Structure 1
Amino acid sequence: MSVTIKRSVGAFSVMSNISVKMDDVVLEKLAPGESVTFEIPKEQETIKISTALTSKIFTVEDGETFDIVRYNLMWGLRYLICFALMITALIPFFNDFSMTRSTIYMQLFFIIGLTIFDMFVPKYLIKRTSEMSEKEQHWNSY
């Protein structure tokens, strides 16, 4: 049984290592833009695709193709947190260059939130190619 896994190219995927595992043994680590085909024994019907902090287990069928693509909703949320942090950083310029405690607390909240978000929330999706629309396939091809 063969299974193909494609990792799209993009800035989102440069910093994360994505590996394909079977029975907790690493079969391959995927670089951005790389596509790998695996031969899996018939009795083995699951594979695990994981990063450093997250993983997902899939049941596979013969000839199936998976795409690892950017999760736009999570990236939008990340940019929203960054924007809120920038706004709180600009508050002293409109308040006679003085910072209140609430401003400092808000900045700390957004910095800690952004750090936790970047470390623990996966910003990618793993989709079966058969479930993706033509628009999604084109969008994630570069």
Structure 2
Amino acid sequence: MIDSKIARGYGGDDPGQTTFEKELTWALMGAGGMVTSIDDLATWFSALRSGCFLPENSLNDAFTKAIDRWCLGSLAQTEINGNSVIQMGGSTDYGYTALMQFVPHHDLMIILLLNAHNNKYRNATHHQLSRKHILPILLREFE
């Protein structure tokens, strides 16, 4: 991997380094230490949606609502601007944030990978960008 193409995290407790240069903390274990691309996440979400990785004749309950706003596949279901949105996101202490949102009614997928956050929203920057700016603009196209 070419080091100049690896995102550095700007924000959080220890900005300006890549994930690979950080000490192993709770923020980098499991999914927090994952390195991916938007294309990889789109492929993963498509496979999750289709259930193509499940045994034949198996039920795909990943999008089935379980309790409150949570689905069985650790996805959250919420409403934004009157639209049902299924989403999964996360962040680390180093400024990295990720968000995948799917609007089933419009077959619309949004994936955000950020390596910084602003001081106002901190680790929720990705959610605020989508909720207040990106989704309203995209959903206007369906009106």
For normalisation by structure 2, the TM-score amounts to 0.28
Q: Indicate the structure with greater helix content.
A: 1
For normalisation by structure 1, the TM-score amounts to 0.28
Q: Indicate the structure with greater strand content.
A: 1
Task: Using CA pairs under 8 Å that are at least 6 residues apart, name the structure with larger relative contact order, 1 or 2.
Answer: 1
Query: Larger radius of gyration, structure 1 or 2?
Result: 1
